[in-house]
Structure 1
Amino acid sequence: MMSENKFQSENSIPDLSPDLFVKADGLDVEDNEKITAPSLSFLQDSWRRLKKNKVAMVSMVLLIVITLLSIFAPVIAPNDPNAQVIEHANLPPRIENININGFNGTIIENDKRIDKYAAKDVPNDVNYYLGTDSLGRDLFSRILYGTRVSLFIAFVAALLNLTIGVTYGLLSGWLGGKVDNVMQRILEILSGVPNLVIVILMLLVLDPGIWSIIIALALTEWISMARIVRAQTLKLKNQEYVLAAKTLGQSTLSIAFKHILPNLLGVVIIQVMFSIPSAIFFEAFLSFIGIGIPAPNASLGTLINDGYKTFRFLPHLMWYPSAVMSMIMISFNLLADGLRDAFDPKLRD
């Protein structure tokens, strides 16, 4: 009995008085309870990850610069891109006060370097930064305007790709069943027709030019976008938040465009970014084979085609437009690759 009382006394709870407690105050305690990382939205978090990708950021800055130069081509271009000065035909590049071979107006002929500007009595205050073509047109001005045309075709084609492809794929994936089956068979039929055949058919109906190329791209380029959006829609439409929206009585279109479409934003943007260089290359290919932009207007493809004819004697006529097109396509692909990692880090290899 005595041992039991002793055990109870040893394990009894002591009296708790206010003196035993000390108020926890001070900056250290308050800082521990603060949330150090700010709350970020999906786009803000993606932008934070994208900024860490130096290659993608450099590509984005380069694309912005090229786009601005093409937009303000009427202000920046030193000459009319279609003005012909036969006396100044086939001149090499010359930049004032720069005495570097390749930019001082000299070329090698018969193992001898000669000044082509002096040989053709070109005034000292007349300089062609990237030289002239066989008709005496300023290549620098034509590249600015040609880049403008190529980017315009690419961006309009990407916009149509976005509008038609996302709408078609979203409806196909959301409705499902027989409707989805019929819509996918239509896609298979359209994808079996080559772009070049459609362009040639467009030329029989429309005059050769920008809009015939845009229409040809709009008829086929959206197919891959529609398939990607459909696949993502099939995966997302059975998620819990979609079922909750159905339970709350939201309409089908409201759920599709307000709940599913925002979750497709990353995939859609990446696909659009990849489609732009594809459209630029397709336009350049058409212009190169002679069924693209009609003369005297220029695009990067027509400039490459013109330079290709005299590449052995005047290589700068092909090198410069080729370099611009290569920079644009590489930058778009690198930026799209960076956006893919930013929007969904799980896709990184």
Structure 2
Amino acid sequence: MVLNNERFFSLHIEVNDEDFKPVLKEEQKQLVQMRTNVSYWKDAWRRLKGNRIAMISLIVIIAVIIFAFIGPLFSPYTYDMQNRGDESLFPCTEYPFGTDQFGRDLLVRTMIGARISLIIGIGASFLVLVIGSVYGAISGLFGGKVDSIMMRICELIYSVPDILIIILLQITLKDPLIALANAGKLGPLQKLGPGILAIFIVYALLYWVGMARIIRGQVLQLKEMEFISAARALGADNKRLIFKHLLPNCTGQIVVTAMLQIPSAIFTEAFLSFLGLGVSMPMASLGSLASEALNGLSSYPYKLIFPALTISIIILAFNLFGDGLRDALDPMMKK
């Protein structure tokens, strides 16, 4: 191969000493854009803030919490106060949501109903989180026959009808709770009744299975990684592996699953209260308010509109925020 000397030497570039001068700070900022290191949670929060629907849902959730827990403090009425002469009033200045057939302020009763829904949703979700994550981590870590037996138990629990268990528990617990209430040993639970306690028991017994399966799948992947082998080599026992290494690395899945469990628990409570199996009267629940409104629906539609709208907003906000949180905590969504 013969090179053309003229063409070859025409590519020659002259280099001077001025080409090796230090770059000024202004020029360095323009040429090199350094990306700051951020933590996993800061990066997730950045992605969550970029999701407008999730942020609007978060604002709605905060507004509902203020409405449910702080709103009743500014009302001159209580949820069980009967105002004689003000029965079945349409929404007005004094009663923005109107009154029921006993003259009770529906605004305050809706606030208390939203409070009950939030307490049950968050409490039941916490039970699912604790039981399901620990059970799934144990099953995935031990593997083998232990994992097989524990998963067969989960499949057995899946076949149990939850509504039937709630009804049976309510009937079973009714007399003992009445005896404890008469003795003054129930405290705040006395106003809620056996139906709410039955819901919590059923969630602790049945609803953690989905969480357990998710955490088990994550642990099966994590336990084969090098940092788990290193922890075992340093003498870490199974308890430390679960609570110090495995579950912290499943935080994203745990948070998302628990968040999406809240609207499910809220809907279950509203459904059972609608059937008369939830809170005991005169305690207000969104489901019981909707059930009471059916008797005079054609004449007083506002009695159904406000509690139904409230529970719809709560469930929709939690679902949309849970979806946004799932996208924010998913490493595959990272740009």
Shared fold (TM-score, shorter chain, > 0.5): yes
CA contact (8 A) 2:166 2:195 kept: no
Deviation sequence 1:180-231 (CA, Å, 0-9, x none): 1111111112221111111112112323243222122222111111111111
Deviation sequence 1:149-183 (CA, Å, 0-9, x none): 11111111011111111000111111111111111
CA distance in 1, matches of 2:314, 2:18: 72
Q: Paired residue for 1:298?
A: 284
CA distance in 1, matches of 2:64, 2:262: 14
Q: Paired residue for 1:37?
A: 35
1:230-241 superposed matches below 5 A: 230-241=216-227
1:313 is the counterpart of 2:311: no
Q: Paired residue for 2:91?
A: 93
Residue 21 of structure 1, CA deviation: 7.9
CA distance in 1, matches of 2:213, 2:312: 28
Amino acid in the other structure paired with 2:76: P
- What is the TM-score of this pair, normalised by structure 2? 0.84
Aligned residue for 1:338, secondary structure, equals helix
Instruction: Pick one of 197, 203, 225 that aligns with 1:217.
Output: 203
Distance 1:200 1:37, change over 3 A: same
CA distance in 2, matches of 1:44, 1:347: 14
Residue 347 of structure 1, CA deviation: 6.6
1:134 is the counterpart of 2:101: yes
Residue 307 of structure 1, CA deviation: 1.2
User: Which region of structure 1 is more displaced relative to structure 2, 171-180 or 215-224?
Assistant: 215-224
CA distance in 2, matches of 1:274, 1:179: 29
Q: Where does structure 2 lack aligned partners over 5 or more consecutive residues?
A: 1-15, 175-193
CA distance in 2, matches of 1:20, 1:57: 53
- What is the TM-score of this pair, normalised by structure 1? 0.81
User: Which region of structure 1 is more displaced relative to structure 2, 228-237 or 281-290?
Assistant: 228-237
Residue 344 of structure 1, CA deviation: 0.8
1:1-349 superposed matches below 5 A: 22-28=20-26, 30-31=28-29, 36-95=34-93, 127-207=94-174, 208-344=194-330, 346=332
Deviation sequence 1:86-121 (CA, Å, 0-9, x none): 4211110012xxxxxxxxxxxxxxxxxxxxxxxxxx
Amino acid in the other structure paired with 1:189: L
CA distance in 1, matches of 2:234, 2:32: 36
CA distance in 2, matches of 1:66, 1:78: 20
Residue 254 of structure 1, CA deviation: 1.8
CA distance in 2, matches of 1:70, 1:266: 28
CA distance in 1, matches of 2:333, 2:314: 24
Aligned residue for 2:85, secondary structure, equals helix
The higher relative CO (CA closer than 8 Å, separation ≥ 6) is in: 2
Deviation sequence 1:225-271 (CA, Å, 0-9, x none): 11111111112211222223223332222222222212211111111
User: Which region of structure 1 is more displaced relative to structure 2, 190-199 or 288-297?
Assistant: 190-199
User: Which region of structure 1 is more displaced relative to structure 2, 56-65 or 202-211?
Assistant: 202-211
CA distance in 2, matches of 1:193, 1:23: 77
Tell which structure's C-alpha radius of gyration is larger.
Answer: 1
CA contact (8 A) 1:69 1:76 kept: no
Deviation sequence 1:295-337 (CA, Å, 0-9, x none): 0001111111111222111110001000000000000000011
Q: Where does structure 1 lack aligned partners over 5 or more consecutive residues?
A: 1-17, 96-126
Aligned length: 302
Distance 1:19 1:131, change over 3 A: closer
Distance 1:158 1:20, change over 3 A: closer
Residue 71 of structure 1, CA deviation: 1.5
